[in-house]
Chain A
């Protein structure tokens, strides 16, 4: 088993566990959003292992960065409305 195979298996297991925590955890909404962003970041590393550098850069910038920002903007507006 070479190093890349071990890394790929570890990444895969981490992604599945984080996805379970994001969708069905009893925790707060902020932790779910952060877990989804972390799944995107680990997927970007896996794209690099699959020899696709363009896709890795796009997923890291757009999938992991901008989507998490959009979620937190809307979460902030909703929370501020609840406390008023």
Chain B
């Protein structure tokens, strides 16, 4: 009874705060100073057509470095918490039924298409909506399809770990190259800006976003593989 009353009081208090925020909300008429600076200077300085990509990769690149670090920590902790001892890591002895014919054939058809689509999304991140995080999630869902259709196969953590570490180190190296050769950390003017709207334009943004896409895809895959290896015999 006391618990329920406290809960209702808490929710009513929060609800009144939210209601007062909503009732006094007046939308803007023009862009504020930060947004108008980004809107006017992106095409000339950065050369990217997708302004959100330009903000994430170059203007506020340190936040992306922090996010990549948090994801790396998450994948490492999930692998650590769910680790099994070495003795239980052989192939299981009990008979699992193989996945159906439809799933196996569908996986064989769809897997290269999904990987190609994921690579397309993170390479074209500076021209169309998309980018590294979306492309990485699509690549991870391809790995998930592989996990679902071959439930008895053990995936090696080594390859995923090597891919993730190499992408992370390359991302930081490109950032430091930005300090040495151009304006600051993760500045994309170390490569020429090129014509607006081409694939090889906007300096180093395609390279940076591809590395982020590979790293995020490898991290999500490692989380899924850790969760699927908790099979009890």
**Chain A residues with a Cβ under 8 A of chain B:** 53-54, 56-58, 61-62, 65-66, 69-70, 73-74, 77, 80-81, 84
Contact = CB atoms under 8 A, between A and B. Distances in A.
A65 B223 CA distance: 14
B227 A73 contact: yes
Contacts of A53: 129
Interface residues of B, number: 22
A81 B231 CA distance: 10
Given A58-B134, A81-B232, A66 B220 contact: yes
Contact of A61 (B137, B224, B227, B228): B137
Given A65-B141, A66-B220, A69-B144, A57 B130 contact: yes
25 contacts: A53-B129, A54-B52, A54-B53, A54-B131, A57-B121, A58-B133, A58-B137, A61-B134, A61-B138, A61-B141, A62-B133, A62-B137, A65-B137, A65-B141, A66-B137, A66-B140, A66-B141, A69-B141, A70-B223, A73-B224, A73-B227, A73-B228, A74-B227, A77-B230, A84-B232
Contacts of A58: 133-134, 137
Contacts of A57: 121, 129-130, 134
Contacts of B137: 58, 61-62, 65-66
Interface of B: 50, 52-53, 121, 129-131, 133-134, 137-138, 140-141, 144, 220, 223-224, 227-228, 230-232
A69 B224 contact: yes
Interface centre among B121, B129, B138, B230 (most CB of A within 10 A): B129
Contacts of B133: 58, 62
Contacts of B232: 77, 80-81, 84
Contacts of A84: 232
Interface centre among A54, A58, A65 (most CB of B within 10 A): A54
B220 to A, nearest CB: 6
Given A53-B129, A57-B134, 6 more contacts: A54-B131, A54-B134, A57-B130, A66-B141, A74-B227, A84-B232
